[in-house]
Amino acid sequence: MQKRNALTVGMVTLVTFVAFEAVAVTAAMPTVAQALDGLALYGFAFGGPFATGIVATVAAGTWCDRRGPAVPTLVGVVLFSLGLLLAGLAPDIWTLIAGRLVQGFGGGLITVALYVVVGRAYPAAAHPKVFSAFSAAWVLPAVVGPAVAGLIVEHLGWRWVFLLIAIATLPVAAVIQPHLRPIDGVAETPTNSRVPWAFGVAGGVLLLHWGGQSGHLAAIGAGLVVVAVCGPRLLPAGTFTGGRGLPSVILVRGFAGAAFMQADVFIPLLLTRERGLTPSLAGLTLTAGALLWSTGSWIQARQGQRFTPATRLRVGLSGIALGVLSAVALVAPAVPVAVVVAGWCVAGFGMGLASPTVAALVLQLSPPGEQGVNSSALSVADSLLTTVVLAVGGSVFAALVTAGPVAYLAAFLIALLPAVAGALLAGRVTAAAPVSPHPAGVPG
């Protein structure tokens, strides 16, 4: 029990640093885009890491199942930190995006590895509490992250938002490694033949981002075709048709993440460029959302079991939709900023209900030898749908950026679609038996 407590503390600390990166970088990115003349590539700076994260999560699932999570965690932390260093030292927007791509790959490894640690090192009854602790690890970054990021940007420069996190993250891996080494892999796990499809998806998504934000229609078409061909090969059969059970669980998580992230990255930009707020003040909206995310997670762990998973997910996705609607309203100059702060509290609470519920359902519906692969599929769906929505939203925003508020309105309406779709799909997340993670005709 003492060793497990030490492992929990180490993992929560690692999640805290990752959370601080997400909150701080999101708050600082409007300043970064202006400093590097990269407003047209604003969405790419966020969507790119999700694209490379897809490859990492696919590879990490089988890697963890076969060899255990120790090495994937270490490699993930190293790449995560190296990407942040590259971004922090970037002389132009393209170098910064390259650093974000490396960081995204490392983050994908970390996410899957920690899910597998929970599945292998903790009893099933403890899974909801551990996942809630992961969500609660966002509390401190949510409280201090935007303000600290704003102060760093204003007094030290935006580069230190990346560099300080990179320096702080590496020691955490050294602390938790001894606790991860005893967690063995599953020898009979088959070789992962999905990695080439993951590279295809990542390439298609990056092409979609580049084409959309540079005006190349042929590149947009090619990117969509590649994603449409390769994407279904990475997820359980029936995911994109809302198959009952695991496929719908994974699709709902993808919809939730895509809706939340699409709005989350454009709210600070709107507040700083159109409402004149400083980076620290604009980031308070993110603070509110993240705090309520943790609150929703806490309530889910202690009271949520009184309600079915479908109910918790339906309420969660509806909350995200309401939060996005508050961002839509903010486009009108007469609407006070307090409206989006309150709305994003509702959205954060919805994510707090949805995220731990989905994570626990994936482990519940997965046999032990497939927990890594199914956790990988969960992260893949989240990354795939989020980066596609960011690509579409970023492309539309770039095309309309000279039109002022219309560009923001379009970006937020695009975020609303997956939130509504996820709420409608929530009733299909339960199944009588586990579902194989491999599409028909595609071996593991």
User: What is the per-residue pLDDT across 139-150, written as a single tens digit (0 to 9) for each?
Assistant: 777 777 777 888
pLDDT band at 323 (very low <50, low <70, confident <90, very high): very high
Q: In the numeric block, which tokens belong to residue 30?
A: 């409007």
pLDDT score at 189: 55
Find the helix packing angle between 284-302 and 127-136, rounded to 10°.
160
Q: Strand, helix or coil at 181?
A: coil
Cβ–Cβ under 8 Å, residues 149 and 280: yes
- Residue 26 CB burial class (10 angstroms; 0-12, 13-18, ≥19): buried
Which residue, 209, 205, 247, is CA-closest to 227? Answer: 205
The model's pTM: 0.74
- Which positions ≥6 away from 246 have C-beta within 8 Å? 236, 361, 362, 365, 366, 374, 431, 434, 435, 437
Residue 437 has pLDDT above 50, yes or no: no
Residue 178 has pLDDT above 90, yes or no: no
Residue 188 has pLDDT above 70, yes or no: no
Q: Tell me: the pLDDT tens digits for 87-128?
A: 999 999 999 999 999 998 998 888 888 888 887 778 777 777
Nearest-Å Rg of the Cα atoms of the chain is 20
CA distance 264 to 251: 20
Query: How far, in Å, are 35, 48, 51, 142, 174 from residue 77 at the CA level?
Result: 28, 18, 18, 21, 10
CA distance 207 to 441: 27
Listed range (135-139, 250-254, 391-395, 436-440) with the worst mean pLDDT: 436-440
Residue 190 has pLDDT above 60, yes or no: no
Hey, CA dihedral for 372, 378, 379, 381, is it positive or negative? positive
> CA angle, 149 as apex, 144 and 154 as ends, to 5°?
130
Q: Tell me: the pLDDT tens digits for 259-283?
A: 999 998 899 889 988 888 887 788 7
Residue 407 has pLDDT above 80, yes or no: yes
Q: Which residue has the higher pLDDT, 444 or 261?
A: 261
Cβ–Cβ under 8 Å, residues 409 and 396: no
CA distance 77 to 169: 7
pLDDT band at 314 (very low <50, low <70, confident <90, very high): very high
pLDDT score at 444: 33
Cα 3 from chain centroid (whole Å): 29
Q: Which residue has the higher pLDDT, 297 or 346?
A: 346
Cβ–Cβ under 8 Å, residues 357 and 316: yes
pLDDT score at 287: 77
pLDDT score at 377: 79
Which residue, 104, 57, 58, is CA-closest to 79? Answer: 104
* Arithmetic mean of pLDDT, 316-332: 94
CA distance 422 to 208: 23
Listed range (169-173, 175-179, 404-408) with the worst mean pLDDT: 175-179
Q: In the numeric block, which tokens belong to residue 212?
A: 């959309």
Listed range (158-162, 315-319, 355-359, 373-377) with the worst mean pLDDT: 373-377
Place of tokens 């519920």: 357
Q: For a pLDDT cut of 70, what percent of the chain falls above it? A: 90
pLDDT score at 276: 85
Find the helix packing angle between 139-155 and 159-180, rounded to 10°.
140
pLDDT score at 80: 93
Q: Which amino acid is at 374?
A: N
Q: Which amino acid is at 348?
A: G
Which residue, 148, 176, 181, is CA-closest to 27? Answer: 148
Residue 5 has pLDDT above 80, yes or no: no
Query: How far, in Å, are 108, 259, 370, 429 from residue 61 at the CA level?
Result: 10, 25, 8, 22
Hey, CA dihedral for 72, 75, 81, 86, is it positive or negative? negative
Which residue, 372, 359, 365, 368, is CA-closest to 59? Answer: 372
Q: Which amino acid is at 435?
A: V
Listed range (13-22, 86-95, 125-134, 400-409) with the worst mean pLDDT: 125-134
What are the structural domains, with CATH classification, of the chain? 2-175+188-428 (1.20.1250.20)
Q: Which residue has the higher pLDDT, 59 or 1?
A: 59
pLDDT score at 305: 67
Q: Which amino acid is at 345?
A: C
Cα 98 from chain centroid (whole Å): 18
* Arithmetic mean of pLDDT, 169-194: 68
Cβ–Cβ under 8 Å, residues 408 and 275: no
Q: Which residue has the higher pLDDT, 289 or 159?
A: 159
Which residue, 159, 116, 91, is CA-closest to 7? Answer: 116
Find the helix packing angle between 2-35 and 127-136, rounded to 10°.
40
* Arithmetic mean of pLDDT, 48-63: 82
Phi, psi of 439, deg, nearest 5: -60, 155
pLDDT band at 82 (very low <50, low <70, confident <90, very high): very high
Query: How far, in Å, are 58, 114, 163 from residue 379 at the CA level?
Result: 8, 12, 26
Q: Which residue has the higher pLDDT, 155 or 294?
A: 155
pLDDT score at 433: 44
Residue 212 has pLDDT above 60, yes or no: yes
